[in-house]
């Protein structure tokens, strides 16, 4: 059985599901950011696969490059926030950072 669109969509779906599992179950803020990266990677695989098998051209790859750029920005800001939270709470357990509740 040769490669088809479905192969890549299945890999993208698995990446997305595992990233969602990471985001939902982690208590460590850095772990949650890793899950977000996995989700964005699953999306990128889908974009590149649809670009290759359905649309043609390079628009899908351009979209994937924008996603990569924004993911890098998100990681930089997210990790700076995590470091600031660690400064004030001495921990990055997301359950402990609840002073803004109510």
Partner 1 sequence: MNRTFSKLALWAFLALLVALFLGYFITRVLPDYLPAGRAVPPRLGDLVFYACAAATVAGAAGVAFSRNIVWSCIGLLIALLGTAALYVFLSADFLAVAQLLVYIGGVLVLILFAVMLTNRIGEVNVSNQSLGLGGGLAVFAAVAPLLMLVAVLVPWPVRPPGPMAPTTARIGDEFLSTWLLPFEVASVVLLATLVGAVVMARKELKAD
Of 26-65, binders to partner 1 (CB under 8 A) are: 26-28, 30-31, 33-35, 37-38, 41, 44-45, 48-49, 51-54, 56-59, 61-62, 64-65
Residue that is written with structure tokens 């950072």 in the block: 97
Q: How far is the CB of 102 from partner 1 (least distance, A)?
A: 24
Q: Kindly report the backbone phi and psi dihedral angles of residue 49, in degrees, each rounded to the nearest multiple of 5, phi listed first.
A: -70, -45
Cβ pair 64, 48 in contact under 8 A: yes
Q: Does 18 bind partner 1 (CB under 8 A)?
A: yes
Q: How many whole angstroms separate alpha carbon 100 and alpha carbon 49? A: 42
Q: Does 13 bind partner 1 (CB under 8 A)?
A: yes
Q: Does 96 bind partner 1 (CB under 8 A)?
A: no
């Amino acid at each position: 059985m040769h490669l088809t669109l479905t192969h890549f969509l299945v890999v993208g779906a698995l990446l997305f599901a595992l990233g969602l599992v990471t985001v939902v179950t982690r208590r460590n803020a850095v772990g949650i950011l890793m899950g977000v990266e996995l989700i964005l990677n699953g999306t990128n695989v889908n974009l590149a696969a649809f670009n290759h098998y359905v649309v043609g051209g390079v628009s899908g790859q351009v979209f994937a490059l924008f996603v990569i750029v924004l993911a890098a920005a998100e990681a930089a800001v997210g990790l700076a926030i995590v470091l600031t939270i660690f400064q004030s709470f001495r921990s990055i357990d997301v359950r402990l950072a609840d002073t803004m509740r109510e």
